[in-house]
Amino acid sequence: MQNTTEIRFLDGTLAPWKPGKVVCVGRNYAEHARELNNPVPTSPILFMKPATSIVDVESGIELPVGRGAVHYELELAILVGHTLSHASEAACQEAIAGIGLALDLTLREEQAKLKEKGHPWELSKCFDGACPLSRFAPVSSAVDYRNLQFRMMMNGELRQDGHTADMLFPVVPLMSHISRYFRLEPGDIVLTGTPKGVGELPCGASVELELVDYFSVKAGKIENQTLS
């Protein structure tokens, strides 16, 4: 499996930055928190995936072998184009260089064991290939980040249907909050949380991701990881 070293826009052009860190937001949709029997948070839950977890979703997805079920979590992805530190909401909105989709792949059984022990989630969230990522749609000042819809189809069936109006912590205020704790730099990516409907991603599944009114993309072949 090849980790991606490039960020591309829909027209195939390269972004001028290498992929950086991926800042993720946990339980940003109340119904998703409830479906996993988790409390609904009152402030953003933040964790990170390394750049080494990013792969091009169209190139295929390799699932770790012998580590239990891999679950998909579809998320709106925000590409950062300017450095943000203790940034205002206006500065954060100006810094958004593109919007895309990502799968926050999770080793669910491993995550449950880690949570039970009070340990961090990295082993279940940060493995190579844990962040299949689409190309990005460029944005304008007219984008309403509280009114974006995104979907995941698997084997022709709708599995997730998310709308940013349902976020507990909306996109732009969320970025401002993150920038108080972590400096966001060009090429960093923010995953903004997953709606209800998460489940196991099996080998051989046919997966299509859609950011309504922007693009639809089919994931490449989903297969077990082969170790070299």
Region 75-84: mean pLDDT is: 98
Residue range 89-105, pLDDT digits in tens: 999 999 999 999 999 99
Picking from 82-91, 116-125, 161-170, which range would have the lowest pLDDT averaged per residue? 116-125
- The domain limits of the chain are 22-224
Mean pLDDT in the chain? 94
What CATH architecture is 22-224? Alpha-Beta Complex (3.90)
How far apart, in whole angstroms, are the C-alpha atoms of residue 73 and residue 28? 12
Residue 154: pLDDT over 90: yes
**Looking at the predicted structure, is the pLDDT value of residue 3 above 80?**
no
Strands 149-154 and 45-49: unpaired
Q: Which residues pair with 199 in a beta bridge?
A: 72
Sheet strand arrangement including 96-103:
45-49, 22-26, 189-191, 74-80, 96-103, 131-133, 54-56
For the stretch 104-146, pLDDT in tens is 999 999 998 998 999 998 999 999 999 999 999 999 988 999 9
